[in-house]
Amino acid sequence: MNMADDVRELLKKHFWEMADDSSLSTGKQSTLPEDACEFFEEYAEKFHVDMASFNFRRYFPNEGIRFLPNAILPKYLQTDHHEPEPLTVNMLIESAKAGRWLYG
C-alpha cells in the first residue's frame, strides 16, 4: 500500500470510508471533535506528521458555553464564532506525504 491508502485505512478505522474530497469537519457527515482529536493523535504519530501549524479549532470550533459571555470565561471554554473550514481527506494525504501540516 502507498501513503494515500494508509491514510484512507486509518480514516476507515476511526470513522468510515470516505472519498478523497470528503470533509471531516463540514457537510452532512462531519465527525465529532472528540473523535477527530483521537484520530489526529494517531495520524500524527503513525505518519510522523509535524502538526505544529495545525489549528484544531479552525476546523472544529469550540461550542463553548453559549449562554455565558466569552469575557468571563477562560480561553478554553470560550465559544468560537466562526463556521468550520473544510478539512478534507486530500489535505490529510498531502500533509502525510510532506511530513508536516500544510494548511496552516
Q: Render pLDDT for 49-71 as a digit per residue (tens, 0 to 9).
A: 999 999 998 999 877 676 777 57
pLDDT classification of 74: cutoffs 50, 70, 90: confident
Can you give the pTM of this predicted structure? 0.84
Among the listed residues 62, 101, 102, 65, the one whose alpha carbon sits nearest the alpha carbon of residue 82: 62
Which of 12-16, 23-27, 58-62 is predicted with the least confidence, judged by mean pLDDT?
Answer: 58-62
3-state secondary structure 56-75: HHHHCCCCCCCCCCHHHCCH
